[in-house]
Amino acid sequence: MEENRLTIRVMTMEDYDEVYRLWMGIHGFGIRSVDDSREGVERFLHRNPDTSMVALHGTTIVGSILCGHDGRRGCLYHVCVKEAYRKHGIGQQLVEACLQALKREQINKVNLIAFQKNEVGNRFWQKLGWTFRGDVNYYECVLNEENVTVYNP
């Protein structure tokens, strides 16, 4: 991969179709029926217009992160790089771009969820020096039963 052809930039709704295809091409990736729909992502980007990122190799999107905040804490969602483009630092560059965007918005702490079965993702976060929190419990309350997660084969 030619590193000089890599661009990291803010994600827009014009990127949605290509980002969705990227998500669908990743083995084991979970897609939420409402949150990850065009309308759900549009709502998220409207609320967080400058913090989600895409990585392009030439004109092709090869990585993406949905990133947002509530005014206090940032959160990363769907951190992914196309399998053929991994091990080139793209994920790290995407994360750093999101962290810089959150810093500009005066966000001081960032959280994410990595499923225990996601060995690749957990190794990635450990390599970047993120802190595993074993002292907290994660709870959720589902408000929309139609917002189901379907995992790619």
pLDDT tens by residue, 82-122: 999 999 999 999 999 999 999 999 999 999 999 888 889 99
DSSP calls for 31-66: EETTTTSHHHHHHHHHHSTTT-EEEEETTEEEEEEE
Structure confidence at residue 3 (pLDDT): 62
Q: What's the confidence (pLDDT) of residue 2?
A: 62
Q: How far apart are the two ends of the chain, measured CA to CA in Å?
A: 27
pLDDT tens digits, 12-23? 999 999 999 999
Q: What is the pTM for the complete model shown? A: 0.92
What are the structure tokens assigned to 145, written together? 């039963």
- Tens of pLDDT along 85-94? 999 999 999 9
